[in-house]
């Protein structure tokens, strides 16, 4: 990552303060930087951000499919059943044949 001159100056000041305030921590950071030098941004793989973007689209599609399926199931399960063919009763009413006692 390229830094502007102001950023570099501020980072140099922070580095100097750290070296003055906590020399052991500064030495540890210096050792880590020597062992693991920073990788230039041009050579870094850019798949980190792309990987997240590539997962967003399938996740959104999956969520949409689940939502549509849920709406369809809700509509099917909450619909009132239609009367059998040949019977013209309104929902909630019973045919008289089942309620009348048999003739003697």
Question: Cβ distance 18 to 26 under 8 Å?
Answer: yes
**pLDDT surpasses 90 at 90:** no
103 exposure class (CB count in 10 Å sphere: 0-12, 13-18, 19+): exposed
Task: Encode pLDDT of 24-42 as tens digits.
Answer: 988 888 888 889 887 776 6
Question: What pLDDT is attached to residue 37?
Answer: 85
Distances (CA, A) of 16 to 1, 2, 20, 38, 41: 21, 20, 6, 20, 25
Does this model's pTM top 0.85? My answer is no
Q: Is the pLDDT of residue 20 over 60?
A: yes
CA pair distance 99, 59, nearest whole angstrom: 55
* 99 vs 42, higher pLDDT: 42
């Amino acid at each position: 990552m390229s830094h502007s001159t102001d950023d570099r100056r501020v980072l140099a000041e922070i580095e100097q303060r750290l070296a003055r305030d906590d020399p052991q921590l500064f030495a540890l950071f210096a050792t880590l930087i020597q062992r693991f030098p920073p990788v230039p941004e041009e050579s870094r793989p850019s798949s980190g951000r792309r990987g997240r973007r590539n997962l967003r689209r399938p996740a959104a599609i999956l969520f949409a499919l689940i939502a549509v399926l849920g709406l369809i199931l809700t509509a099917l399960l909450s619909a009132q059943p239609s009367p059998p063919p040949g019977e013209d009763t309104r929902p909630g009413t019973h045919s008289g044949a089942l309620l009348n006692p048999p003739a003697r």
